[in-house]
Amino acid sequence: MSHVIQNPVLKGFNPDPSIIRVEDDYYIATSTFEWFPGVQIHHSRDLVNWRLVGHALTRTSQINMMGMDNSEGVYAPALTYADDKFWLCFSNVHSCRGGNWMATPSFVVTAERPEGPWSDPVSIGNYGFDPSLFHDDDGKKYMLNMIWDGRLNKNFFGGIVLQEFDPKLGKLVGEPKNIFAGTHLGCTEGPQMLKKDGYYYLITAEGGTERNHAVTVCRAQNIWGPYEVHPDNPILTSRFQEDVELSRAGHGFLVETQQGEWYLSHLCGRRIPNPEGYQFIPKYDNGFSILGRETALQKAHWQDGWPYVTTGKTPLVTVEAPELTPCPWPPMMMNDDFSQTELNSVYQTLREPACNSWLSLTERPGFLRLKGRHYLSSRYEQSLVARRFQSHYATAQTAVTFTPSTPYEMAGLCAYYARNGHYFLKMSADDAGQRVLQVVGNINDVYGEYSQEVAIGDADTVHMRLELDYQWYRFSYSLDGTQWHPIGPQLNSTPLSDEGGPDIFRFTGSFAALFAADVRGLKQPADFAYFNYSEK
């Protein structure tokens, strides 16, 4: 093996990959749920080295997620290329907490370049949460989607619907048809279509996005069916293999290189095994994905008209790279001194774009200013700027300048997974107006104060550090940037994971975040001098 693909290729929260090739360029779109901007798009020229080139949903005219809960918003996107442009399908999901029927309005946006700008959305129905488009070689286009069926005693995953899409009219035309009910694996979702040698190959995610996840393939000679299932289905899965390095493997799609080699992109999770003696009773019994679901690639080939993963059904960490000229990219930004006037694309905000009303890189040049709004558990105005944890061993560090005089103003550094899964080292004030530091958080809907208040006198600048050491987070602080003091106990990382919470659905991943709140509504600003991230 001359050079290799090292999985996951997209580390940290990067689920539901949709891969395409356009001449010499490869792109993968991944889901972002309640995080803004929506849909990450990564680019590669060799399948080994990937870089983030942009996001598809950058404006509120494309997506409104205000009030959305954890893991609602943008589910699995699907990227295609036809008629000299990129097409991207997505749905903006309100899940069905407390009810059976989900709202899954689905849309398509287009762009000349994957970096954008992407168009405003066009509706492609509301059937389910994983829409895609297929561009047939006769010029026709089709919408595929899963069907969400909320009726009692029915399979919620009601099959895969196909309907023609007229791009000139900008709408679905003709009758929809349920073309595939799924296999015994169940939870049939994420449909994407590929045409090869006269066959339509329908590739779906099955088994649910947890431990039983799988990539299912079926095919038909007529796009409307009937579809026959792969003789050795599923083609990839980590189910029944508890000690596998990449678990939860599923949600795949195939891509052919310029040389005729094939690769399968898929999602996976690198799980922390259940900690010994840990009191929390997990929903699943084989660990916690604190980094969320990640994207990996496997080598594939075709035999007798069916695709196979060349190394077997179990995903591998190290995979033979294709015969493509290596094309490394400059490393992604690790240390930000906030000298730029635009927020770097590694950052995400919650539910809404970064906007001058609550975030500024220019009001105090060289600083990120966050104007405090709601507290972390709100589904609305969060003055929070976050970047993914992409390794189980990482450190995030910042310095915040802040002059709170009441307990109702706070700013600092967080480990954030969800409204009900986060830790927060906050700088605030006590009732006497004395500045204090404290570690607080919310685990499973219970607010906790995990350290005493530490008085810091009249210091207005505090350096804060958050270390992730596999199963533990640790906070420390420094008033001079040199001498560091631990604050609070070590905090379990596993409740901040896909499996660790009380929610029905947890689909995202852990972030290190800068945050400010002012529950009085006075938008007291906090100025962050830098945000450094490193991995061990």
Q: Which residues bind ligand 6LW (CB under 6 A)?
A: 15-16, 31, 75-76, 129-130, 189-190, 205, 209, 250-251, 267, 507
119 or 204: CB nearest ligand 6LW: 204
Which residues, at least 6 apart from 377, have a Cβ–Cβ distance to it below 8 Å?
419, 420, 442, 447
Query: Within 10 Å of residue 157's Cβ, how many Cβ atoms?
Result: 20
267 or 468: CB nearest ligand 6LW: 267
**Which residue has tokens 């992407």?**
118
75 or 347: CB nearest ligand 6LW: 75
76 or 386: CB nearest ligand 6LW: 76
157 or 347: CB nearest ligand 6LW: 157
C-alpha of 210 from chain center: 15
70 or 360: CB nearest ligand 6LW: 70
Active site residue 16: yes
Residue 241 CB, nearest approach to ligand 6LW (Å): 18
**What residues are paired with 533 via a beta bridge?**
396
Residue 505 CB, nearest approach to ligand 6LW (Å): 7
Q: Which of 34, 72, 130, 189 is catalytic?
A: 189
Compute the distance between CA of residue 130 and CA of residue 185 in angstroms, rounded to an integer: 18
Query: Within 10 Å of residue 304's Cβ, how many Cβ atoms?
Result: 6
Residue 243 CB, nearest approach to ligand 6LW (Å): 22
Residue 36 CB, nearest approach to ligand 6LW (Å): 17
Compute the distance between CA of residue 299 and CA of residue 32 in angstroms, rounded to an integer: 26
**Which token pair is 448?**
């906790």
Residue 280 CA: distances (Å) to CA of 314, 468, 488, 494: 29, 19, 20, 9
Compute the distance between CA of residue 89 and CA of residue 82 in angstroms, rounded to an integer: 13
28 or 205: CB nearest ligand 6LW: 205
Residue 260 CB, nearest approach to ligand 6LW (Å): 29
Number of residue whose CB is nearest ligand 6LW: 209
Q: Work out the angle at residue 84's Cα, subtended by the Cα atoms of residues 78 and 90, and round it to the nearest 5 degrees.
A: 20
Please tell me what DSSP assigns to residue 365.
T
Residue 151 CB, nearest approach to ligand 6LW (Å): 20
Active site residue 363: no
Compute the distance between CA of residue 165 and CA of residue 133 in angstroms, rounded to an integer: 8
Compute the distance between CA of residue 261 and CA of residue 285 in angstroms, rounded to an integer: 37
Residue 204 CB, nearest approach to ligand 6LW (Å): 9
188 or 383: CB nearest ligand 6LW: 188
Length of the chain: 536
Residue 395 CB, nearest approach to ligand 6LW (Å): 28
Left (φ > 0), alpha (ψ -120 to 50) or beta: where does 342 sit? beta
Residue 189 CB, nearest approach to ligand 6LW (Å): 4
Compute the distance between CA of residue 72 and CA of residue 508 in angstroms, rounded to an integer: 10
Residue 192 CA: distances (Å) to CA of 80, 81, 189, 242: 10, 13, 9, 28
DSSP secondary structure, 488-524, as one string? EEEEESTTSSSSSSSSS------EEEEEEEETTSS--
Q: What per-residue string of b and e applies to 437-476 under the rule 16 or more CB within 10 Å gives b?
A: bbbbbbbeeeeeebbebeebeeeebbbbbbbbeebebbbb
14 or 420: CB nearest ligand 6LW: 14
The residues assigned a catalytic role are: 16, 189
